Amino acid sequence: MSECFWGWSMREDLRKNGESGGFVSSLIESLIGDYDRVISVRKTGTVFEGKVVDLKDSSDVKGIQGALHSLCINMSAYIKKGMRTAIVLKPCDAKAVIENMKRNHVDRGDVLLIGLNCGGTLSPVNTMKMLDVEYELRPDEVVKEEISKGNLIFFTEDNEFSKSIDELEESGYGRRESCRYCNYKIPSVCDIACGNWGTPAGGKVTFVEIFTQKGEQAVRSAVEMGFVSVEAPSEKLVMVRSKINSSMKKLARSWKGKVLDPIMELSPIDRLNYITNTLSPCIGCYACRKACPVCNCTGDCKCLQMDPDDVLPIPQYHAVRLLHLMESCIGCGNCTDVCPVDIPLARLHQLFAKAYEDRTGYKPGMSADDVPPLSRGDIPEGH
Amino acid sequence: MSHRCQEVISLKVIDSHCPGCSILCGLHIIEDGDEIDIDFQKYCPINSGKLCKFGIDLPAIYKNCVETCMVDGELVCKDECISAASRALKSWSSRSKGKNGLVLCLGDATNEELLSLKDFANALGMKCSSGLGHFVGNITNVPLFHDFTGFDIIENSKNIILISLDPYYQYPLVARKLQMAKERGSCISSIGPEGSHLETICENIDLCRPNEVLKRLRELSQHVDRFSLFITQLGIYADPSIVAEINNICSRTSSRVKYLKDYANSEASLAMGFDNYGKSIDEIVSEMESGVITALILVESPLFDTYLDNDRFMKACEKLDTLVVIQSSMPKNLPSNAVLVPLEAFYRRKGTLINVCGRFISMGGDLEGTPDVLRKIMAGLSSAPIGSFLDLTKRSREAYDSWSANNIGYEIVSVPEHNALEGENIHLYVTNPYLLRGMGHQLVKRVGDRLYPEMLKKERYVVKQRVADGVVLSYQRDRRFKGIMGLYE
């Protein structure tokens, strides 16, 4: 049962300069001291540069940029078992945290998940190139970026520049491939989901949806301590938010069809050839394993347990990963981002995950209580 | 609401660059209490967050930091080891007439550290070496260090020739650029030993032994033009005759060359005017053996573990009057006469670097590193002090600006005699930075110190071929070493 509000910061500087009225910044400020770690992202240069910070006092809050679309940091990696952590994250990060709960790497009771709605993230270096080619802007001129109504908008100090995402993506720019076909836009597995969908035009407020008692308690406490203020949203804008979510999901389905269906429609032997050819440049650096937010095994990981006499250790490594991640890949795209030889690994993993989901109905990252079908042994007959 | 833990483990994320080679890929280092990890820095324009195996394995290097101070094989406190270094250098300085002292730093040091070492060496009457000085000194006018074209030149070259390079294994970031070049219609050729996946990017693969490369290069030169780009490696074991020949081809045909280098700040040794000794590593070791060099300050240059004739290097070091080792990673081997002074890990140091594309880069650490150590050693000597860090940064910026404004063209140089070395003077021509730097690849980890002698017995796996500088040792990919890997299981 969820509850919705419009919220904003009570700190003048954050309300004025923060994203959507600075609600998230002030909410996490209110949590400092209550959690061992309060984790978010801070801009370190242009809006395309930033790093994770552990906030220790109110002065750390300034410059926090939870919604930087161009950072693509795997936030779930910053949750350490046994540390009580409040963390701001994207929907895919939240799904990764849920998968880690299943593996006992995270305790649900230890974390407060503050999710941010996400229409997709951008590869920073490709985006800086796009700025030059498509927008004729320098990265240091951009003060804010936003995805709205099918457009990618960059704001400078005194202007805004908007282009159709569809057109940008056809030209090889725009959102990362995995984000294009991701259909999880509002992180409902979090305690709270925040964003600017369903807010009044030009209004300095955040749309806040609360999913858990812990989330409600955090917001109530922040209100009582005077960090934030909230009010009920208009019904009309609640509907608008829902429509935006639906249209983003529809777009995602269309992209999934465009990217994955042609591969699925290949004959089994051609599909196998496609997969092996795509993996052939692999140099065995294991960066994909390192970047994967749900792959947390240490030295005893099965994907590295190769027979030294086997002549195909790298294909074996990928075969094990493709099978393992079939029921846990949350489609974050980190593996593709970090591959030094540009193998579209997320596409391959999603190919397997989609086939698995089609057959079993199982979606990873949606509930810590879900047991994967292979683990519970109730795969439908014939599959 | 919950209670905050009594002891909160601090989490710190530091902007950094990989010291694995002079590409200087951007990454984040995560300090989480005693644990060290990496995160990908996807906004870094150098590598877009991508890392090779070395970068992925960086936590293992950084965990192996020097925590102990040693003097003549005995554990001492840090103050005592600084005093011992100071006393040893003072003593050497007073009786060094006619003898050489050398500061050797292969490259894992910031510009500020190189400048402070240079100042320190000048004060003591010592020389400085980056291990590449023989290229600068003997093959003049070769723009080894001075090509600011970045990696875009790879994507935009119509004809690319790889010389003894295994890009997928050695420099995956370059392999990406080669893939892009191929997609744009470039013709890519390879001359040299077999490499991994070369067939996926190269139209022409001329497999040959290292001693045949120079001949093949000369044969190829008639097909090279101003749209051609050579890519090869310039490390301490690189073959001077091949370097000179490539330079001459570039001069005659207006083609270009991109040299990839092994150490983090190799590019800066010329810009900072660091290397004023002009000798190769082999020549330096010979001079240590013959007593020409009697004092050595070895800075971030783990040659005890990575010089491929370890025994020779250790024995040469033991002949020295004075040996001061300033290093951040703990050496496996250390001569008994060494004073080991610990240095903070690379990522913890602040300062600036220059990468292989000529980018001037800042490090995200907050410690001075070598200048701080040198100041303490200087305190015991009556020499001029090391300047402030701010001053060193200012000087490094000025040196960079002056260096980068000075365009060096390709001019014909004489080609050193090829295949000239005889007798015991064998070096290993290493085409793999993992092995050169003594870690990284799982094969190297598995066989450890026994790697070299055992591999030499396996002609099938090691092309043991004398060239100008020695022997080839390459091909560390798993599948090709399954026999050796099996041997050590």
Q: What CATH number is associated with residue B338? A: 3.40.50.740
Are B311 and B400 found together in one domain?
A: yes
Q: Which residue, among B269, B263, B247, B293, has the nearest Cα to B412 in the 3D structure? A: B247
Are B51 and B98 found together in one domain?
A: no
* CB–CB contact A37 B45 (8 Å): no
Residue A47, helix vs strand vs coil? coil
Are A279 and A221 found together in one domain?
A: no
A309 contact B CB<8A: yes
Per the structure, the count of domains in chain A is 2
| Residue B125 forms part of a structural domain | yes
A65 contact B CB<8A: no
* CB–CB contact A71 B43 (8 Å): yes
Q: Answer with the one of A186, A209, A243 that is the final residue of a domain.
A: A243
Q: Answer with the one of A243, A258, A290 that is the final residue of a domain.
A: A243
Are B298 and B371 found together in one domain?
A: yes
pLDDT in tens, A119-166: 999 999 999 999 999 999 999 999 888 887 788 999 999 999 999 998
Least confident range from A99-113, A170-184, B325-339, B409-423: namely B409-423
- Euclidean distance between CA atoms B90 and B105, whole angstroms: 21
Which of B23, B42, B359 to mutate to test binding with chain A, by most A CBs within 10 Å of its CB?
B42
CATH, residue A237: 3.40.640
- Amino acid at site B274: F
| Residue A249 forms part of a structural domain | no
Are B459 and B372 found together in one domain?
A: no
C-alpha distances in Å from residue B304, one per residue of A255, A329, B313, B330, B438: 55, 44, 7, 11, 10
Are B282 and B348 found together in one domain?
A: yes
Token pair in block for residue A305:
């347990």
Are A195 and A78 found together in one domain?
A: yes
Are B305 and B452 found together in one domain?
A: no
* CB–CB contact A284 B478 (8 Å): yes
Provide φ and ψ at B367, rounded to 5°.
-110, 150
| Residue A381 forms part of a structural domain | no
| Residue A185 confidence (pLDDT) above 60 | yes
10-residue averages of pLDDT along chain B (489 residues): 52 93 93 92 92 85 83 89 93 82 94 96 92 69 55 87 83 86 93 76 83 85 90 82 87 88 87 89 92 95 75 91 92 89 94 91 94 89 82 96 78 69 32 41 35 41 28 31 25
Are B463 and B314 found together in one domain?
A: no
| Residue A315 forms part of a structural domain | yes
Confidence at residue A256, expressed as pLDDT on a 0 to 100 scale? 92
Which residue is closest to B35 within chain A, CA to CA?
Answer: A80
Are A98 and A199 found together in one domain?
A: yes
| Residue A112 forms part of a structural domain | yes
Give the residue-averaged pLDDT of A113-117: 96
| Cβ contact B181:B160 at 8 Å | yes
A vs B, Cβ pairs < 8 A, gives: 136
B59 contact A CB<8A: no
| Cβ contact B23:B173 at 8 Å | yes
Are A289 and A356 found together in one domain?
A: yes
| Residue A294 confidence (pLDDT) above 80 | yes
Confidence at residue A76, expressed as pLDDT on a 0 to 100 scale? 94
| Residue A205 forms part of a structural domain | yes
C-alpha distances in Å from residue A312, one per residue of A276, B175, B480: 12, 21, 10
**C-alpha A163: how far from chain center:** 23
| Residue A361 confidence (pLDDT) above 70 | yes
Give the residue-averaged pLDDT of A270-275: 92
Chain A, 196 to 255: residues with Cβ < 8 Å from chain B are 217, 221
| Residue A330 forms part of a structural domain | yes
| Residue B175 forms part of a structural domain | no
User: Which residue carries 């092996």 as its tokens?
Assistant: A276
B347 contact A CB<8A: no
| Residue A257 forms part of a structural domain | no
Q: Out of A83, A124, A283, whose CB is closest to B42?
A: A124
Are B331 and B392 found together in one domain?
A: yes
**Strand boundaries in B107-250, DSSP class E:** 127-129, 159-163, 187-192, 204-207, 228-234
Are A207 and A324 found together in one domain?
A: no
Are B284 and B383 found together in one domain?
A: yes
Are B306 and B341 found together in one domain?
A: yes
Which of B23, B38, B43, B151 to mutate to test binding with chain A, by most A CBs within 10 Å of its CB?
B43
Which residue is closest to B480 within chain A, CA to CA?
Answer: A311
Are A342 and A199 found together in one domain?
A: no
| Residue B84 forms part of a structural domain | yes
Chain B, 193 to 232: residues with Cβ < 8 Å from chain A are 196-197, 200
* CB–CB contact A285 B52 (8 Å): yes
String of DSSP letters for B54-102: HHHTHHHHHHTB---EEETTEEE-HHHHHHHHHHHHHHHHHT-TT-EEE
| Residue B247 forms part of a structural domain | no
Are A194 and A297 found together in one domain?
A: no
Burial class (CB in 10 A: 0-12, 13-18, 19+), A375: exposed
Length of chain B: 489
Per the structure, the count of domains in chain B is 3
Which residue is closest to B56 within chain A, CA to CA?
Answer: A287
Q: Which residue has the higher pLDDT, A274 or B1?
A: A274
| Cβ contact A20:A206 at 8 Å | yes
| Residue A281 forms part of a structural domain | yes
Residue B299, helix vs strand vs coil? strand
| Residue B105 forms part of a structural domain | yes
Are A65 and A114 found together in one domain?
A: yes
User: Which residue carries 């050819």 as its tokens?
Assistant: A277
Are B307 and B386 found together in one domain?
A: yes
Are B282 and B333 found together in one domain?
A: yes
- Euclidean distance between CA atoms A285 and B441, whole angstroms: 9
| Residue A218 confidence (pLDDT) above 90 | yes
Length of chain A: 383
Instruction: List, edge to edge, every strand of the sheet that includes B11-17.
Output: B11-17, B26-32, B35-40
Are A301 and A218 found together in one domain?
A: no
**Dihedral sign, Cα of residue B36, residue B37, residue B43, residue B48:** positive
- Euclidean distance between CA atoms A227 and A24, whole angstroms: 10
Residue B284, helix vs strand vs coil? helix
- Euclidean distance between CA atoms B465 and B450, whole angstroms: 20
| Residue B39 forms part of a structural domain | yes
Domain around B17: 11-63
B380's CB contacts (< 8 A; 6+ apart) are B82, B83, B86, B87, B90
Contacts of A36 in chain B (CB under 8 A): 4-5, 8-9
Query: Which is it for strands A50-54 and A37-43: parallel, antiparallel or unpaired?
Result: antiparallel
The mean pLDDT of chain A is 89
| Residue B18 forms part of a structural domain | yes
For residue A17, what pLDDT band results from cuts at 50, 70 and 90? confident
Are A280 and A238 found together in one domain?
A: no
Are A208 and A320 found together in one domain?
A: no
Are A272 and A235 found together in one domain?
A: no
Domain around A270: 266-376
Q: Vertex A183, ends A182 and A187: CA angle to 5°?
A: 100
Confidence at residue B156, expressed as pLDDT on a 0 to 100 scale? 85
| Residue B441 forms part of a structural domain | yes
End-to-end CA gap in chain B: 53
Secondary structure (H, E, C), B310-323: HHHHHHHHHCCCEE
